[in-house]
């Protein structure tokens, strides 16, 4: 049982901490994968603290990387395995969020989650089902998990979201973003989308620019 996350952290370049961005990496990667984004983002967000945890589980399909939850179609795990790991990882992420809120004396609304692929999926799951008062979610190249239950358990409020996806994504097809749009509209989420043209499963410069614009608006 993992009780803590291994986290890479970057203090604000201004020396004045007001906001927090937490990166959640994709399946088979690690915290370093997205942590490199803190350098270009910090130039425009000088009062922002950046954190990038490793997921708590070694990845079944990529032993040098990590996973937030197993994927049955890839690693032979079961749906109960996936759901148990998802719940466990969510608890650890929420614990991390709460620790920053207390450590820095900030509000939930001062915290944004930026997730890629599987990290996008768990970010959306946390923001739409549990911490509906975080500042916002940047979801890149992911999909909604169990969308039908989101509609069934509609809440009064949700954090703002931007979904960013490459139209040539061969891992998580862009149709996943369009499917998510339908559900988010049904439950009245304030969201926007951006399509990166001729981009596969990755983060293109235009997508990163849109993410930055979204975060700056949230923190303004």
With respect to residue 93, please indicate whether it lies within any of the assigned structural domains: yes
Per DSSP, 110 falls in state G
pLDDT at 2 over 50: no
1 — pLDDT class (breaks 50, 70, 90): very low
pTM above 0.85, yes or no: yes
Tell me, what CATH number does 77's domain have?
Answer: 3.40.50.1820
Domain housing 174: 7-219
With respect to residue 40, please indicate whether it lies within any of the assigned structural domains: yes
Q: How many domains does the chain have?
A: 1
The torsion angles phi and psi of 158, rounded to 5 degrees, stand at: -145, 155
Average pLDDT value for residue range 116-136: 94
With respect to residue 206, please indicate whether it lies within any of the assigned structural domains: yes
Per DSSP, 55 falls in state P
With respect to residue 1, please indicate whether it lies within any of the assigned structural domains: no
With respect to residue 164, please indicate whether it lies within any of the assigned structural domains: yes
Which residue from 97, 85, 84, 87 is spatially nearest to 23, judged by alpha carbons? Answer: 97
pLDDT digits (tens, 9 = 90+) for 158-197: 999 999 999 999 999 999 999 999 999 999 999 999 999 9
Strands 57-58 and 66-67, bridge-based pairing? antiparallel
With respect to residue 202, please indicate whether it lies within any of the assigned structural domains: yes
Is 37 in a helix, a strand, or coil? Answer: coil
pLDDT at 154 over 70: yes
């Amino acid at each position: 049982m993992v009780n803590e996350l291994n986290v890479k952290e970057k203090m604000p370049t201004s020396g004045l901490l007001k906001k927090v961005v937490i990166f959640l990496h994709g399946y088979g990667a690690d915290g370093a994968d997205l942590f490199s984004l803190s350098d270009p983002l910090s130039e425009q967000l000088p009062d922002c603290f950046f954190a990038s945890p490793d997921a708590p589980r070694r990845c079944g399909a990529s032993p040098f990387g990590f996973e937030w939850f197993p994927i049955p179609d890839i690693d032979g795990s079961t749906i109960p395995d996936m759901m148990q790991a998802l719940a466990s990882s969510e608890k650890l992420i929420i614990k991390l969020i709460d620790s920053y809120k207390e450590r820095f004396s900030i509000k939930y609304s001062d915290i944004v989650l930026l997730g890629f692929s599987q990290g996008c999926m768990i970010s959306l799951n946390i923001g739409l089902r549990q911490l509906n008062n975080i500042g916002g979610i940047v979801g890149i190249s992911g999909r909604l998990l169990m969308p039908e239950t989101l509609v069934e358990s509609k809440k009064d409020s949700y954090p703002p979201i931007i979904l960013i996806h490459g139209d040539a994504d061969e891992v998580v097809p862009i149709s996943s973003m369009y499917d998510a749009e339908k559900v988010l509209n049904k439950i009245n989420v304030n969201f926007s989308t951006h399509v990166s043209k001729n981009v596969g499963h990755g983060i293109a410069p235009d997508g990163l620019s849109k993410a930055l614009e979204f975060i700056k608006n949230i923190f303004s």
